[in-house]
Amino acid sequence: MTAELRVFSDGESKIKIGSKAAGNCIIVQSAHPPADTHLMQILMMAKKCADSGAQDVCAVIPYLAYARQDRAFLEGEVVSIALVAKLLEAAGIRHVITVDVHSQLAMSHFTIGIQNVSSIPLLANYASTRMKLQQPITVSPDAGGSDRAREFAKHLKTDMMALKKSRDRSTGEVTVDGKLDIDVTGRDVILVDDMISSGSSIVKAAEVLRKKGAGKVYAMCAHALLIGDAAHRIKAAGVQDIIATNSVPGEYSKVDMSPAIADALKSRYM
């Protein structure tokens, strides 16, 4: 069924679910910006399903907002994903399926079931079948994404390296070390990340790679938030194209996650 949604001029949402939710209730809603609005809509639908007597309420949230806020980086900060987890549970949700959650730590804050679906196989398949690459190399913009990039490189059968990135926790300023472990001269580069938000990490990485003589540079990710003029700045830094999944709708959402999510649902209910 499709929920009827009305958004008022003050930003409040009103949702109506026409028929009674019996049996298993599966809610499909990504929590991309405006994150608070989309999260509230998930909570409203879940509460209605639970109150209507659904046996099980499962939320498919391809982009899980606040997952990056998985710890207190500075004194006084709220661990926001822990609060989100409690709110989802309080609304009656018993299981969450998401795509490329930011960290295992984020998942650890959930006391209900949470299942993480990887976008890497589908992204790698897109790269191998739709992109004409010359001596490709997979690159992670930072050490934290090494496992993700390594998995992608394994699927695509390429070399892999991680750049050395640092970020000022107070200002958000990003710097990337220009010393590379592998020579990228003349090689096409695929920058692989879980999400692209402001684009600062991709911009800095692309600038370093281009200075080192890389061929075409592509950015691939699960979640293309691309806040403000991020896409323009990324292209201006020498990135040929941005390829993302449809966890966040937009111009660069070129890889459909439906098959992987459907498999996750089948493993739960069949």
Residue 3 has a pLDDT of 84
Q: Are 189 and 174 in contact (CB under 8 A)?
A: no
What residues are annotated to the active site?
165
Q: Does domain 4-117 have CATH number 3.40.50.2020?
A: yes
Residue 21 has a pLDDT of 63
How many other CB atoms are found less than 10 A from the CB of residue 183? 11
Quote the CA–CA distance of 148 and 179 in Å, as a whole number. Answer: 21
Residue 258 has a pLDDT of 97
Residue 184 has a pLDDT of 94
Residue 18 has a pLDDT of 75
* 120-255 fold: Rossmann fold (3.40.50)
Comma-separated ranges of CATH 3.40.50.2020 domains in the chain:
4-117, 120-255
* pLDDT per residue as tens digits for the range 109-140: 999 999 999 999 999 999 999 999 999 999 99
Quote the CA–CA distance of 188 and 132 in Å, as a whole number. Answer: 9
Residue 129 has a pLDDT of 96
CA angle at 255 for the pair 252 and 257, rounded to the nearest 5°? 125
In the chain, the largest separation of any two C-alpha atoms, in whole Å, equals 61
Quote the CA–CA distance of 192 and 178 in Å, as a whole number. Answer: 18
Running along the chain, 270 residues long, what does each successive block of 10 average in pLDDT?
Answer: 88 86 88 97 95 94 96 91 98 97 94 97 97 96 92 96 80 76 95 94 94 96 97 97 97 97 91
If you write DSSP's letter for every residue of 188-218 in order, what string do you get? -EEEEEEEESS-HHHHHHHHHHHHTT-S-EE
Question: Who's near 20: CB < 8 A, 6+ residues apart?
Answer: 52, 53
If you write DSSP's letter for every residue of 69-99 in order, what string do you get? --S-SSTT---HHHHHHHHHHHTT--EEEEE
